Amino acid sequence: MAYETLAEVQKRTGKPKEALASCRHSLAISEALLADDPKNSQFAIDVVQEKVLLIDLLLAAGERSAARTETARLLAHLSSLVTAQRPSLYYLASYLAVVDSTPFPEFWKAEDAIAIARKAVDMTRGADPESLDLLARAYGRAGNLIEAVATEQKAIALLPAAKAGRPVPETRRKLEATLRELEQQSASARTR
Q: Is the dihedral of CA 18, 24, 28, 30 positive or negative?
A: positive
- pLDDT per residue over 138-175, tens digit each? 999 999 999 999 999 999 999 998 888 999 899 999 99
**What is the second-level CATH architecture of the domain 109-192?**
Alpha Horseshoe (1.25)
As to burial, measured by CB atoms within 10 angstroms (0-12 exposed, 13-18 middle, 19+ buried), residue 55 is buried
CB 101 within 8 A of CB 74: no
- pLDDT per residue over 15-39, tens digit each? 888 999 999 999 999 999 999 999 9
HSE-up of 34 (CA within 13 Å, CB side)? 15
Nearest to 26 by CA among 52, 47, 11, 56: 47
Q: What pTM did the predictor assign? A: 0.81
Whether residue 131 has pLDDT greater than 80: yes
- pLDDT per residue over 39-92, tens digit each? 998 898 999 999 999 999 999 889 999 999 999 999 999 998 888 888 889 999
User: CATH 1.25.40.10 region(s) of the chain?
Assistant: 109-192
CB 156 within 8 A of CB 172: yes
pLDDT value of position 144:
95
Q: How confident is the model at residue 192 (pLDDT cuts 50, 70, 90)?
A: confident
Q: Where are the alpha helices (DSSP H) in the chain?
A: 2-12, 16-36, 41-60, 64-82, 89-101, 110-123, 129-142, 145-157, 170-191
